[in-house]
Amino acid sequence: MVVGGVGLGLGGVFGMEAARKKSDAGCAANNVCPNPTSAGVLEDAKSAGTRSTIAFVAGGVLVAGGVAILVWPSMQPTNAAGWRLRAAPVVGRDGAAAIVAGEF
């Protein structure tokens, strides 16, 4: 969920950057710009907007996945022999991994 929160935060930062650059471009509401420099700044604003959208979507998916893992009932099937196998994702500062544990 932390990684998702970072994604949402980056989405906000890129969104603010896009809004600032669009304002700085000084183009009309229909995206008609007075000169090539303004048109370049407007293109930069559109790129920042795209990055914002991607970060928001990715962050939202990661947060939703993290919440689902925490809220969803743990599924630990036990077979007829009485043993059980569990797996869980682990994400840390230095990378990600999966933990697999079994009970016999």
Flag whether pLDDT at 35 surpasses 70: yes
- Which H/E stretch holds residue 68? helix 36-71
- What pLDDT is recorded for position 87? 77
Handedness of CA 22, 23, 29, 33 (dihedral sign): negative
- Classified as helix, coil or strand, 101 is strand
Determine phi and psi for 26, rounding to 5 degrees: 70, 25
Q: Are 10 and 65 in contact (CB under 8 A)?
A: no
Chain segment 41-79, per-residue pLDDT in tens: 999 999 999 999 999 899 988 888 888 777 766 655 555
Cα-to-chain-centroid distance, residue 19: 20
pTM attached to this predicted model: 0.65
Which single residue is written with the structure tokens 């077979």? 79
The encoded tokens of residue 9 equal 């935060």
Whether 85 shows a pLDDT value over 90: the answer reads: no
Evaluate whether 75 touches 17 at the Cβ level (below 8 Å): no
Please check whether residue 43 is in contact with residue 18, taking contact to mean a CB–CB distance below 8 angstroms: no
